[in-house]
Chain A
Amino acid sequence: MHEMSVAQNIIDIVLQHLPEENSQPVQVVTVKIGKMAGIVPDSLEFGFQVIASETPHLENAQLRMEFTPLIIHCPLCGKDFEINDPYFICPDCNNTNVEIKSGTELQVTEIEIDDSPQEES
């Protein structure tokens, strides 16, 4: 269960990107998670909620997870293939020397901040 540590890293990165003078709440944190990034979504969601709920500006933030498929590139065929199981072999020419093009990433991509003026009356 390293999702707790991953969640903490996500929140640390978000905090570094908050505009200084702006203390408006973060609504959404979007992360990109490769299918083979080794992340259990429910555990990450849980870890994120626990830490966010105690972090100023992130108390109500939602985690939005975007999953990227596992795509390999065969240098011999010059083509990309999406694969479902982690068998790293070119479906066209059986070459086993393929590269992973996507599917292992773990990135914070963007945050959404509620900057609508606070009600004053």
Chain B
Amino acid sequence: MSVITIERKVLEKNDQIAQKNREDFTANNVFTINIVSSPGSGKTSILERTIEHLKGKLNLSVIEGDVQTDNDARRISALDVPAVQIVTHGGCHLEARLVRDAMENVDLQKTQLLVIENVGNLVCPSNYDLGEAHKVVVVSTTEGDDKPIKYPNMFRNSSVLIINKIDLVPYLNCNIDELENNALQINPSLKVFKTSCTTGDGIDEWCSWLESQVLK
């Protein structure tokens, strides 16, 4: 029996492609965020609200990742923002390679803010760097306040937390302070926003922060 020592990161190929993506974003002055959450937490709704706020101020492009259908890309295109749909056909997360392919259909030179909406899943996307500047994790109040503890990776690897659907708090026994505290225990440097896409609460704060990051 002979032993061959290897010592290589399993996802190094993804990391290398992500690094190329990142270089392309930097070269074209594109600020990129990767939005992650469980299915249905409100990623596309937040994006729609964000577009309403930032349109005319910033040039946006969107890459949508879904297991099936181009529904989300159509929702974004309806707002006159260029959107490219990646359909993973069962794949539970986006990989850097898929984003790189989609980038061929994104006009990077005309884009200041690129939003990548990941596949709804709180586990798998956390392992895959896409080349983004920040991961933004969304949790909705209907999911309960213990999500950060159950899915620590995602919260540790994100820089922003959006607690969405705060309009529903009166009907739920979700304590959003507890949710926030749990998240901050996992990652004290998280920047936290609380939003409702129904009432529009908190969208201003989120968008102002985002705009300031893009224009930095």
Contacts and interface: CB of A to CB of B under 8 A. Distances in A.
B7 A108 contact: yes
A118 to B, nearest CB: 14
B1 A107 contact: no
Contact of A2 (B5, B12, B92): B92
Contacts of B2: 112-113, 115
B3 A9 contact: no
Contact of A109 (B6, B13, B92, B123): B6
Contacts of A113: 1-4
Nearest to A3: B124
A115 B1 contact: yes
B10 A106 contact: yes
A78 to B, nearest CB: 19
B127 interface: yes
Contacts of A6: 10-11, 127
A107 B153 contact: no
B100 to A, nearest CB: 16
Nearest to B125: A2
B145 to A, nearest CB: 15
Interface stretch (B29-37, B103-111, B184-192): B184-192
A109 B5 contact: yes
B188 A88 contact: yes
Contact of B1 (A14, A37, A104, A114): A114
B185 A108 contact: no
B169 interface: no
- Interface residues on chain A, size class: 35 or more
A96 B93 CA distance: 30
A109 B10 CA distance: 10
A109 B149 contact: no
A87 B10 CA distance: 26
Nearest to A27: B1
A110 interface: yes
A103 B188 CA distance: 18
A13 to B, nearest CB: 5
A107 B149 contact: no
A97 to B, nearest CB: 7
A107 B7 contact: yes
B126 A38 contact: yes
A108 B4 contact: no
A1 B90 CA distance: 10
B156 interface: yes
Given A38-B124, A38-B127, A86-B152, A110 B5 contact: yes
A96 B185 CA distance: 8
Nearest to B9: A107
Contact of A88 (B8, B14, B185): B185
A19 B153 CA distance: 36
Interface string A67-106: 0000000000000000001111100000011001000111
Given A87-B185, A97-B188, A110-B5, 11 more contacts: A2-B128, A37-B127, A37-B153, A85-B149, A86-B186, A88-B188, A96-B185, A108-B6, A111-B3, A111-B6, A116-B1
